């Protein structure tokens, strides 16, 4: 029996509802496997914690998390309560950075049982590999002058190391799939960082001569996510472009509420963090109607990363089977509660 | 009879096909109006011109253009022939900047006769007001070190003046429409420029208490363009976000080939430039099959701006009537040539 220590951070809003649901499913999956068990340790770090303690996590929070195998996180942020730059940068982005989770992997595929908002979605199945540590999300910048003369400067920072790491990850991943990598660029309008991005892509792709590749500007690429998403296999994108494309990926699947994500420390020196694409959705939180599928699918990605792709596959099958039964939460046009959706998935998993 | 001097730059690729088509339509519209005439002066500035002269336009090109009432441009760029940073920054972006065309207005609406790729597109009708002079498209930045240590830094520059100008334009525009402004932000991830953007938005909206407004992060906003575009009226966005949203706008309409745009010098000190959202599409250029609708609709926006909204309206009606007849170019799933599409629009215009 292998035991894994998982740090659980439900966080804010619907994170509190979907994380317990996903843990139930992961527990059931472990039982089915038979040779694997989880120790879940919960951390109450969120905006309420902030209001009480003046910080999103204790000073030794990162050190504490380093003792775990993986981190399973729901969502962070309560804009009405705590400013985003405090809550997100004090917990979510802080963990991404300090754990060097420099690759964010986010699949989007047409699930059985779900209706895409696209008229003819074909059978798309793509993965966005998002650079997760730098780029447009750099902390460097500030403001000068005041009143009419005020201005803000934001520095986007692209290092060869991080850019290349994301691209290599994308090429390696593509080799296990349909062997095509698309680079999301905007070098026609963004004149320093994106030509650099293109140059690194040229250099990396030379090492993968058997893999087909192309570069597409982010504006056209976003449009292609609507017009012909089935044409894409693996897409490598900067932090910002990856962020935008993966919400779009959720949308074309049918709901952002089902989109999963994995913040990977690919070197496996620190824990990785598994956290769905959606946020804390304060508007629907507390009513038991949130969609647990994004968090459950995110749990499947954790199993994949831990070396259990077979039971990961069972979970995705169970999700698709439940949706095919017509069990759907409100965001998918149905009336199922979080509980009912979870039960339907559990039922199929245990079959 | 009022005479207008229009500088015509067909540019590259399909620009050479759609601009003449749009001029035919504008001529017909002027004839119908009776009190208005155009003097078209053509400039052969494009990538071929560059190969011959070593620059995209003559040294006094901008000074020459300043003598015109408006500029009517097709598309610029032939990536295989001339690097984008030369062609675009030497002509398209150069004109936007030197003519202080700091607002880029780009509508997206469900046209009669067109099938959206969305299953239930409802009746959306939105306008993106894109800041067109700075932001993520600043020329400031560069590279340092080489090999493994190389990095690039790109500065995004947001001034209060340009940010506020775009926002005020959006609020004024909204007052003539459904009176709602959405700000495209990303202040939860981009920590200096976007909080500044939000602050300016707060300040500007205080001056328009009767106008409803909201701020949405660009990732969610892109997803909403797919899920519920009918909820938007006017959207104000940075240079990059506006670029992405408007290709998405084209996509949900049915093709980027129909999306129009106006680069406005709102102070009317210099000519404005009317140029559709789509690019030069070298892959289909020269075959007479490109979609002229984007350029023709762009011509309608020129008429609107010049003070002839009634005949502008006639043009849009004629476009919708032609599409409703089933006359469609390949990008819209039809087989009409550029000529046939144009003729169908002319026929309805002259009815
Ligand atoms: C060609 C490119 C520089 C341009 C832009 O990004 O502004 C285009 O995409 C547009 O939207 O007009
Ligand atoms: C909450 C926000 C900072 C975050 C991001 O932009 O990275 C979110 O949108 C995501 O995609 O995980």
> CB–CB of A303/A312 below 8 Å?
yes
User: Is A187's Cβ below 8 Å from some Cβ in B?
Assistant: yes
Which ligand lies nearest to the CA atom of residue A85 in the structure?
2
Record the pTM: 0.98
Sign of the CA dihedral with B6 first, then B312, B178, and A331 last: negative
> CB–CB of A243/A277 below 8 Å?
no
Nearest atom, ligand 1, residue B242 CA: 11
Cβ-based contacts of B47 with chain A (< 8 Å): none
- The predicted pLDDT at position A127 comes to 98
Q: Which residues of A2-21 are buried (b: 16+ CB within 10 A; e: fewer)?
A: eebebbbbbbbbbbbbbbbb
Helices B338-350 and B309-324, packing angle to 10 deg: 120
- Read off the DSSP letter of residue A118: B
Residue A168's pLDDT band (boundaries 50, 70, 90)? very high
* Whether residue B188 has its Cβ less than 6 Å from ligand 2: yes
- The predicted pLDDT at position B125 comes to 98
User: Which domains does chain A show, CATH number per domain?
Assistant: 1-101+260-351 (3.40.718.10), 116-253 (3.40.718.10)
Measure the CA–CA gap between A299 and B320, rounded to whole angstroms.
48
Nearest atom, ligand 1, residue B104 CA: 12
Using CB atoms, pick whichever of B117, B153, B189 lies closest to residue A137.
B189
Measure the CA–CA gap between A181 and A211, rounded to whole angstroms.
7
Measure the CA–CA gap between A156 and A14, rounded to whole angstroms.
32
Angle, alpha carbons A116-A121-A123 (nearest 5°): 110
Residue B299's pLDDT band (boundaries 50, 70, 90)? very high
Report, as an integer, the average pLDDT of B4-24. Answer: 98
What is the CB neighbour count within 10 angstroms for residue B139? Answer: 15
Angle, alpha carbons A328-A127-A295 (nearest 5°): 40
Residue A144's pLDDT band (boundaries 50, 70, 90)? very high
Nearest atom, ligand 1, residue B239 CA: 7
Q: Give me the percent of chain B exceeding a pLDDT of 90.
A: 99
- The predicted pLDDT at position B157 comes to 98
> CB–CB of A30/A37 below 8 Å?
yes
Report, as an integer, the average pLDDT of A87-104. Answer: 97
- The predicted pLDDT at position B255 comes to 96
Helices B293-306 and B15-33, packing angle to 10 deg: 40
> CB–CB of A185/A220 below 8 Å?
no
* Whether residue A67 has its Cβ less than 6 Å from ligand 1: no
Indicate yes or no: CB of B246 within 8 angstroms of CB of A219.
Answer: yes
Q: How many residues does chain B have?
A: 351
Question: What residue of A is the nearest CA neighbor of B162?
Answer: A151
Q: Which residue do the tokens 């003449």 mark? A: B20
Residues 140-169 of A with CB under 8 A from B: 140-143, 147-161
Q: Which residue do the tokens 């001097």 mark? A: B5
- Provide the mean pLDDT of chain A: 97
Closest CA to ligand 1's atom 4: A189
Ligand 1 centroid, distance to A309 Cα (angstroms):
42
Report, as an integer, the average pLDDT of B90-97. Answer: 97
- Read off the DSSP letter of residue A216: E
Selected residue with higher pLDDT from A235 and A80: A235
Backbone angles phi, psi at A236, to 5 degrees: -105, 135
Structure tokens at A15: 């994170």
Report, as an integer, the average pLDDT of A86-103. Answer: 97
Rounded to the nearest angstrom, the minimum Cα separation between A165 and chain B is 11
Measure the CA–CA gap between B86 and B53, rounded to whole angstroms.
13
User: Is B240's Cβ below 8 Å from some Cβ in A?
Assistant: yes
Measure the CA–CA gap between B247 and A224, rounded to whole angstroms.
9
Residue A97's pLDDT band (boundaries 50, 70, 90)? very high
Measure the CA–CA gap between B77 and B45, rounded to whole angstroms.
11
Q: Which residues of A187-208 are buried (b: 16+ CB within 10 A; e: fewer)?
A: bbbbbbbbbbbbbbbeebbeeb
Rg (CA), chain A: 20
Choose among B197, B229, B239, B228: nearest CA to B215: B197
User: Is B287's Cβ below 8 Å from some Cβ in A?
Assistant: no
Helices B218-227 and A239-253, packing angle to 10 deg: 30
- The predicted pLDDT at position B21 comes to 98
User: Is A219's Cβ below 8 Å from some Cβ in B?
Assistant: yes
Rg (CA), chain B: 20
Measure the CA–CA gap between A78 and A12, rounded to whole angstroms.
7
User: Is B331's Cβ below 8 Å from some Cβ in A?
Assistant: no
- The predicted pLDDT at position A225 comes to 98
Backbone angles phi, psi at B271, to 5 degrees: -65, 150
- The predicted pLDDT at position B334 comes to 97
Residue B42's pLDDT band (boundaries 50, 70, 90)? very high
Q: How many residues does chain A have?
A: 351
Report, as an integer, the average pLDDT of A157-181. Answer: 98
Sign of the CA dihedral with B220 first, then A81, A155, and B98 last: positive
Cβ-based contacts of A196 with chain B (< 8 Å): 143, 150-152
Which ligand lies nearest to the CA atom of residue A15 in the structure?
2
Measure the CA–CA gap between A26 and A20, rounded to whole angstroms.
10
Using CB atoms, pick whichever of A141, A195, A252 lies closest to residue B192.
A141
Which residues share a beta bridge with A9? A73
Q: Which residues of B163-177 are buried (b: 16+ CB within 10 A; e: fewer)?
A: bbbbbbbbbebbeee
Angle, alpha carbons A255-A260-A265 (nearest 5°): 155
**In angstroms, how far is CA A7 from the centroid of its own chain?**
17
B324 three-class SS: helix
Measure the CA–CA gap between A294 and A277, rounded to whole angstroms.
7
Measure the CA–CA gap between A279 and A243, rounded to whole angstroms.
12
- The predicted pLDDT at position B126 comes to 98
Using CB atoms, pick whichever of B140, B149, B191 lies closest to residue A85.
B191
Ligand 1 centroid, distance to A228 Cα (angstroms):
21
Q: Give me the percent of chain B exceeding a pLDDT of 70.
A: 100
Q: Which spans in chain B are helix H? A: 15-33, 47-53, 61-66, 84-87, 93-98, 160-175, 193-205, 218-227, 239-253, 293-306, 309-324, 338-350
- The predicted pLDDT at position A20 comes to 98
Nearest atom, ligand 1, residue B261 CA: 12
B87 three-class SS: helix
- Read off the DSSP letter of residue B48: H
Query: Could you read off the pLDDT of A36-46 as tens digits, one per residue?
Result: 999 999 999 99
> CB–CB of B286/B264 below 8 Å?
no
Measure the CA–CA gap between A317 and A351, rounded to whole angstroms.
11
B346 three-class SS: helix
B40 three-class SS: strand
* Phi-psi map region of A287: left, alpha, beta (phi>0 left; psi -120 to 50 alpha): alpha
């Amino acid at each position: 029996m292998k035991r894994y220590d998982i740090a659980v951070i439900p966080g804010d809003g619907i994170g509190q509802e979907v994380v317990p649901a996903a843990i139930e499913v992961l527990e059931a999956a472990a039982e089915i496997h038979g040779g694997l068990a989880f120790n879940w340790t919960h951390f109450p770090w969120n905006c309420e914690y902030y209001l009480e303690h003046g910080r999103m996590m204790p000073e030794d929070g990162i050190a504490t998390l380093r003792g775990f195998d993986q981190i399973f996180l729901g969502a962070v942020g309560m804009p009405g309560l705590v400013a985003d730059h405090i809550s997100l940068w004090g917990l979510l982005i802080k963990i991404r950075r300090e754990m060097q989770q420099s690759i964010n992997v986010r699949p989007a595929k047409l699930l059985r049982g779900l209706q895409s908002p696209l008229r003819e979605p074909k059978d798309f199945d793509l993965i966005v590999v998002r650079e997760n540590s730098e780029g447009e999300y750099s902390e460097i910048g500030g403001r000068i002058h005041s009143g009419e003369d005020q201005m803000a400067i934001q520095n986007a920072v692209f290092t060869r190391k991080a850019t290349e790491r994301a691209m290599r990850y994308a090429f390696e991943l593509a080799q296990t799939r349909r062997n095509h990598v698309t680079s999301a660029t905007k070098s026609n309008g963004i004149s320093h960082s994106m030509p650099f991005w293109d140059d690194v892509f040229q250099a990396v792709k030379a090492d993968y001569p058997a893999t087909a590749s192309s570069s597409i500007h982010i504006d056209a690429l976003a449009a292609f996510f609507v017009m012909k998403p089935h044409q894409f296999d693996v897409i490598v994108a900067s932090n910002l472009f990856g962020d935008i494309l993966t919400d779009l990926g959720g949308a074309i699947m049918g709901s952002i509420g089902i989109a999963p994500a994995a913040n990977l420390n690919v070197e496996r020196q620190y824990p990785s963090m598994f956290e769905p694409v959606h946020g804390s959705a304060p508007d629907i939180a507390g009513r038991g109607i949130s969609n647990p599928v994004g968090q459950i699918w995110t749990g499947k990605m954790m199993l994949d990363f831990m070396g259990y792709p077979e039971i990961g596959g069972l979970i995705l099958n169970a999700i698709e089977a439940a949706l095919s039964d017509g069990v759907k939460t409100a965001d998918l046009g149905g009336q199922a509660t979080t509980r009912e959706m979870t039960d339907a998935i559990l039922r199929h998993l245990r079959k």
